[in-house]
Amino acid sequence: MTSSRRYSDQDVEHYDRPRRRGSRPRTKERPTYDDAVDGVVVTVDRGRFTVVVGGQQIWAVKARPLGRKGVVVGDRVRVVGDVSGAEGSLARIVEVEPRTTVLRRTADDDDPVERVVVANASQLVVVTALADPEPRHGLIDRALVAAYDAGMAPLLCLTKADLADPETLLATYRALGVPWVVTRRDDDGLGGLAELRERLAGRASVLLGHSGVGKSTLVNALVPDAGREVGQVNAVTGRGRHTSTSALMLPLPGADDTPDGWIIDTPGIRSFGLAHVQPEHLIEAFPDLDEMTEDCPRGCTHAADEPECGLDEAVARGEADPDRVASFRRLLDARSVPPYLV
């Protein structure tokens, strides 16, 4: 439970002044780095960061003034030092911009520490095969909870539609209003894949999916250079493959070499601990339902067994869609199921 403290905005106030030669007196002002350049963190590998600056990859470490402040994939940062990106070069990250969203995972069997996984992504794409392997509702529900809690818009990407009809699965999620795209293995580039590209354009999206669902195929179709980019990172860090918890941010090809959005692949994330998610925060993702809980008893979790929950009263009055309320409660329940049982 330390991460919420570790990543709090308070830490920004604790920055040290930059080091200067001589005996210049320390001032109370926050340091300004006139020569710093803006960048985006695209990978993290044991204390080494790959940062994209002006369309080019460079390598950096955290500068001392950042102290224990975490820097994660998706962070917008300010960098000083050798920003040439030349072999062996190493710049320093001196500032981290405030985050717009934070995707977290609670400590679980895979990872004993609660962590921020990705910062500043606005969409979470849950990639699920319609068959082979069979879709697992528990996993989808957990990913949706993580998205809503992070303030990210969810998108269902249902693959292998040539094997099974998406309708059965979609029926489960329709009441929640989750948007979806459907792809086929024989996609000619004009079907679901084109629609997915449209939905990814101009924003940063995290792709989440388990092995065998076709996530890697999608990543390769969306970013034809993905393999090369990863290889490049590894060559420079000299540390082999990414650590299992790492995420990898890739630019979607746009006109004039300008990225038309970003996708963040999460190869190491197999489960999503959700113990940190609070009911009052989750329901804020559903403003229509949130409104109906104004008169709930103090401490009401809005679960089905709450005696006087406003959601039940709204359903009884015919003001709430019972399917939507039931779906929301299914998500609430998904929080408390240990990831290894899903």
Q: What 3-state DSSP class applies to 57?
A: strand
Q: Which is nearer to Zn ion, 45 or 306 (CB)?
A: 306
Closest by alpha carbon to 96, among 15, 167, 156, 171? Answer: 15
Near Zn ion by CB under 5 A, which window of 60-68, 75-83, 242-250, 303-311?
303-311
Q: Which is nearer to Zn ion, 110 or 323 (CB)?
A: 323
DSSP annotation of 242 reads P
Q: How far is the CB of 29 from Zn ion (least distance, A)?
A: 47
Residue 236 parent element (H or E): helix 226-237
Q: What 3-state DSSP class applies to 125?
A: strand
Near Zn ion by CB under 5 A, which window of 164-172, 176-184, 290-298, 330-338?
290-298
Choosing from 101, 246, 293, 327, the residue that interacts with Zn ion (CB under 5 A) is 293
Choosing from 61, 164, 221, 300, the residue that interacts with Zn ion (CB under 5 A) is 300
Q: Is 304 among the residues that bind Zn ion (CB under 5 A)?
A: no
Q: Is 277 among the residues that bind Zn ion (CB under 5 A)?
A: no
Taking the C-alpha atoms of residue 110 and residue 119, their distance in angstroms, rounded to an integer, is 20
Near Zn ion by CB under 5 A, which window of 84-92, 170-178, 223-231, 289-297?
289-297
Q: How far is the CB of 331 from Zn ion (least distance, A)?
A: 14
Q: Is 296 among the residues that bind Zn ion (CB under 5 A)?
A: yes
Q: Is 329 among the residues that bind Zn ion (CB under 5 A)?
A: no
Spatial contact of 187 and 99, defined as CB atoms under 8 Å apart? no
Where b means 16+ CB within 10 Å and e means fewer, 214-225 reads: bbbbbbebbbee
Q: How far is the CB of 292 from Zn ion (least distance, A)?
A: 8
Q: Is 309 among the residues that bind Zn ion (CB under 5 A)?
A: yes
Identity of the amino acid at 90: L
Spatial contact of 74 and 52, defined as CB atoms under 8 Å apart? no
Q: Which is nearer to Zn ion, 43 or 293 (CB)?
A: 293
Q: Is 335 among the residues that bind Zn ion (CB under 5 A)?
A: no
Q: Which is nearer to Zn ion, 128 or 327 (CB)?
A: 327
Spatial contact of 51 and 78, defined as CB atoms under 8 Å apart? no
Taking the C-alpha atoms of residue 268 and residue 54, their distance in angstroms, rounded to an integer, is 28
Closest by alpha carbon to 121, among 102, 105, 140, 136? Answer: 102
Q: Is 302 among the residues that bind Zn ion (CB under 5 A)?
A: yes
Which residues are near Zn ion by CB under 5 A?
293, 296, 300, 302, 309
